[in-house]
Amino acid sequence: MQLKSYWHETAPRFCGGAQGPVEGRFDVAVVGGGFTGLSAARTLAKAGVRVALLEARHVGHGGSGRNGGHLNNGLAHSYLSAKQHLGEARAKALYRAFDDAVDTIERIVAEEGIDCSFRRAGKLKLASKPAHFDSIAKNFEAVHREVDPDTALLSKADLRAEIGSDAFHGAMLSKKSAMMHMGRFVHGMADAVKRKGGVIYEDAPVTARETDGSGWRLTTPRGSLTAERVFLATNAYTAGPFGHFRRRVIPVGSFVLATRPLGADAIAATMPGNRTCVTSLNVGNYFRLSPDDRLIFGGRARFSAVSDATSDEKSGRILRDSLARIFPRLAEVEIDYCWGGLVGMTKDRFPRAGEADGLYYAMGYSGHGAQLSTHIGEIMGEAMAGKGNRNPMEGMSWEAVPGHFGKPWFLPLVGLYYRVLDRIR
């Protein structure tokens, strides 16, 4: 078993980064080389804006190359909960933004000719308990009636054609959801930025920022550049001189396994529907098949803000047990890859994008960023290029998390709370 991301290990490495020192004057500097930053940089470069992207490691190093590979439409919350907290108009706009996000990725894949196995698969929200199915059914009725008719409610009997497990009591099917190879998409996006004239600096973490006339000077170990505007796209990996945002985004570990490639018989017995799947528990799991027929199986596993070899291996053992409970026939299957990454959570689990602390930003996707980040990056790129504002989160207040100053000391308590909820509800 390799303690490495399957997405990183099975995709080409981007080799088009600038090799010299970080220097020069740009219209916009993008900080962060994941889906959000690459999408914004691509949009800006297309518009003829002088744009430089600064990535602390390599493009896709963070959450964009460490997730479960889902491009799911719909909200992290139930739609009914979103209406209660945001109001009907905002809840509908945000729900539709996730729909639009999948469309945006599909369009970009076609425009740039990116070979990333994009496929509309549909998502199953699986009820782990009978009472959860009642809640899913109630949410489905509102979603189907008000905002997304491309949905269906599946009974436990219906699931026999979808998933080879007796662990679930029904599901909601969201038909617009998709999947792709995340590492290949990152590579294709970085190539697109370079082709359109954007400059990408890898191994260039921002260590300082200061005002420079009407704009900013950003300093890295490789040198410094100036830019009239800065777009922060670092999500859970926010570090350096960006304390305003670190106090508002909680980094939480999410961990993933990839099995060996499964044969046709095992696939037919395990995932005949070949969709993306997510369970209804607070500390639940998500899974799908990879382009080369592996089961990619992930979950929170441990409430930790650390993803390294030790943490990933511990979490992998927990995930292995969960995999065996859901799919007993795979209890002894070989695991080829085990990895982790950080999810950027906000206090209310709604994402944010806009302007604050003198910067443009988009982050806080709360575990649903693989689809939304590319879309919001494009929207914010358009705004910085002076092409209007389509931001569905415009004007949403965003308070700091009380007691949080960058290191989430409280995560074990949060994990205990959610585990107790899963036992009693």
Which of 420 and 38 is assigned the larger pLDDT?
Answer: 38
> 417 lies in a domain?
no
Asked if the model's pLDDT at residue 312 lies above 90, the reply is: no
Length of the chain: 425
What region, left, alpha or beta, does residue 69 occupy, with left being phi > 0 and alpha being psi -120 to 50 degrees? left
Among 30-34, 260-264, 282-286, the range scoring the smallest mean pLDDT is 282-286
Q: Which residues contact 331 (CB under 8 A, 6 or more apart)?
A: 323, 324
> 425 lies in a domain?
no
Task: Name the helix (H) or strand (E) containing 396.
Answer: none
User: What's the confidence (pLDDT) of residue 406?
Assistant: 77
SS3 at position 127: coil
pLDDT bucket at 9, cuts 50 / 70 / 90: very high
> What is each CA distance from 111 to 56, 78, 198, 239, in whole angstroms?
28, 33, 17, 33
Q: What is the pLDDT of residues 138-152, one digit of tens each?
A: 999 999 999 999 999
Sheet with 295-299: list strands edge to edge.
Answer: 151-154, 171-174, 123-126, 276-279, 285-289, 295-299, 250-259, 335-345
Query: Which residue segment(s) compose the domain that 285 sits in?
Result: 6-412
Query: Domain containing 98 — which CATH number?
Result: 3.50.50.60
> 371 lies in a domain?
yes
Task: Look over the chain and give the mean of its residue pLDDT values, rounded to a whole number.
Answer: 94
> 174 lies in a domain?
yes
User: What's the confidence (pLDDT) of residue 279?
Assistant: 96
DSSP conformational letter for 336: E
Residue 357 to residue 339: CA distance in whole angstroms: 34
pLDDT bucket at 303, cuts 50 / 70 / 90: low
Asked if the model's pLDDT at residue 415 lies above 70, the reply is: no
Q: Which residues contact 306 (CB under 8 A, 6 or more apart)?
A: 253
Instruction: Tell me how far the alpha carbon of residue 104 is from its chain's centroid.
Output: 15
Considering the chain, what percentage of its residues have pLDDT values greater than 90?
86
Q: Which residues contact 175 (CB under 8 A, 6 or more apart)?
A: 120, 122, 150, 151, 152
Asked if the model's pLDDT at residue 365 lies above 90, the reply is: yes
Neighbours of 157 (CB within 10 A): 8
User: What's the confidence (pLDDT) of residue 409?
Assistant: 74
Instruction: Name the domain count of the chain.
Output: 1
> 424 lies in a domain?
no
Q: Considering only CA atoms, which of 271, 251, 253, 246 is closest in space to residue 261?
A: 271
User: What's the confidence (pLDDT) of residue 372?
Assistant: 97
Considering the chain, what percentage of its residues have pLDDT values greater than 70?
96
> 419 lies in a domain?
no
> 421 lies in a domain?
no
Asked if the model's pLDDT at residue 336 lies above 90, the reply is: yes
One-letter amino acid of 333: V
Q: What is the pLDDT of residues 94-135, one digit of tens each?
A: 999 999 999 999 999 999 999 999 999 999 999 999 999 999
> 18 lies in a domain?
yes
User: What's the confidence (pLDDT) of residue 214?
Assistant: 85
